[in-house]
Amino acid sequence: MVDIRLTNTRTRKKESFQPLDARNVRLYLCGPTVYDRAHLGNARPVLVFDVLVRLLRHVYGESHVTYVRNFTDVDDKINARAAQSGRDIRDITEETIGWYHADMDALGADRPDHEPRATDYITQMIAMIENLITRRHAYVAEGHVLFDVRSYGEYGRLSGRTVDDMIAGARVEVAPFKRDPMDFVLWKPSGEGQPGWDSPWGNGRPGWHIECSAMAAALLGPSFDIHGGGMDLQFPHHENEVAQSCCAHPDGEFARFWLHNEMLQVEGKKMSKSLGNFFTVRDLLDKGVPGEVIRFVMLSTHYRKPMDWTEAKAADAEAVLRRWRGLVAGIEPATSPAPAVIDALRDDLNTAGAIAALHDLANREDLPVFLASAQMMGLMLPEMGSWAEAGDDAAAMIEALLTARADARKSRDFARADAIRDGFAAAGVEVKDTAQGAEWSLAAGFDEERLAELARAYSA
């Protein structure tokens, strides 16, 4: 069996990964809160986990992995969006889930096996909260149910802090009914106009953290293999998930491996609305950056390092992928990926190393193995490649312009012929004059609109 090694936040060590059940390897990734388009940073955990799941399916078998990623569809940010827009909550969450699917599909991320919505698991959350109250890990106060952090000796272990450090360092919400400032909400009352469900504590709604504990238990059991998310979720969200789950199921371990990706930045700076460098995955796709290029750039940095999105990286990635797609035209993938690529991925998901190995294979022209290896990482898949091909329209425009250029040369209008040549270069069309005539291909940065302008100006 391939020895996969992963850095486990729980132990802060790179450990050999052994699943609880090799016939059903189980993973959970915290998914999005659905009130707005996913920003580029949100795509990072999705792509990291997508590669991890592909690796696990390669090692344990296609049907021996269960991957769960939730949709948080009950949250005060969603309520605020509904109030401000006058729309129905359900309309907003449905529309946002549709966007999310379209955007992550465009990045070549496979859909998880289960995508539970929090609002479909309220019954399980209420049962888990009742269990926590019975075991004296939670208490009722003023219509709220709170988790008693002092009742769980291990609280803070995942993120490596003590409760007293947290109180000193954190902005904690102090409420008079909390026994300890770090106690967090499991259930809260809903007022007029807020979504609410009947519960033993009155009409109310869950706090954020309980949903992941309840959905992971329902779909993966009290112990499962890997839990992931961005570093920003390590505390308090993941710490609270551990506390709730381990106290509700004292015989379970909850997640055995915790994987956290570092944050994404843009041109060296934190991505934020106030810096004006905030954009969504859809913004990039609409600007013409292919999903496959976004995927390539994301995987070029190891998930445990901060990653910088730059336009230069996107342009480089586009050039590499165009070249690679040119190389494999007509080639069928081999039946297995290259050992060098698997070796990089099994070493704490070293996607940057795996891409270096792909460069090597492409340079050695071991094309069937190269293609199988790239596809194992979700790159160079036929269904992701339409961006790199010239459509019929582009091909017709290029042919018409080549005829116009030949005519210009014949009539010794060299200024016109040169203008067409320069126009091709500016639009990203590479033209080679050979003894058999002109041959063309699309270069990095191919721009169909500029080509259309050129065609309007010069072809008859």
Distance CA 451, CA 454 (A): 5
CA angle 300, 53, 327 (to 5 degrees): 50
Q: Which does 151 bind (CB under 5 to 8 A by kind): ligand AMP, Zn ion, none?
A: none
In the complex, minimum distance from the CB of residue 277 to ligand AMP, in angstroms, rounded to a whole number? 11
- Select the span of 22-30, 54-62, 134-142, 364-372 touching Zn ion (CB under 5 A): 22-30
Q: What residues form DSSP beta bridges with 441? A: 430
* Per-residue binding letters, 43-62, with ligand AMP (x by CB under 6 A): -xx-----------------
Say whether 241 sits in a helix, a strand or coil: helix
The amino acid at residue 186 is L
Rule CB under 6 A: choose which of 233, 345, 371, 380 binds ligand AMP. Answer: 233
342 is a site residue for Zn ion (CB under 5 A): no
212 annotated among ligand-binding-site residues: yes
Rule CB under 6 A: choose which of 9, 42, 93, 159 binds ligand AMP. Answer: 42
159 is a site residue for ligand AMP (CB under 6 A): no
In the complex, minimum distance from the CB of residue 16 to ligand AMP, in angstroms, rounded to a whole number? 25
212 is a site residue for Zn ion (CB under 5 A): yes
The set of residues, in sequence order, having a beta carbon less than 8 Å from that of 287 and lying 6+ positions away, is none
247 annotated among ligand-binding-site residues: no
137 annotated among ligand-binding-site residues: no
Place of tokens 């790239």: 374
End-to-end CA distance of the chain: 64
Distance CA 302, CA 353 (A): 9
92 is a site residue for Zn ion (CB under 5 A): no
Helix (H) or strand (E) holding 181: none
Cα–Cα distances (Å) from 273 to 46, 80, 195, 229, 266, in that order, read: 22, 18, 28, 22, 12
Rule CB under 6 A: choose which of 8, 33, 159, 301 binds ligand AMP. Answer: 33
Distance CA 206, CA 163 (A): 23
In the complex, minimum distance from the CB of residue 374 to ligand AMP, in angstroms, rounded to a whole number? 24
Distance CA 17, CA 25 (A): 11
The answer to whether 217 and 208 have CB atoms below 8 angstroms apart is no
* Per-residue binding letters, 241-280, with ligand AMP (x by CB under 6 A): --------------------x-xx------x---------
Q: Which residues are annotated as a binding site for ATP?
A: 273
Q: Which residues here bind ligand AMP, judged by CB under 6 A?
A: 30, 32-33, 41-42, 44-45, 229-230, 232-233, 261, 263-264, 271
Annotated binding site for Zn(2+): 30, 212, 237, 241
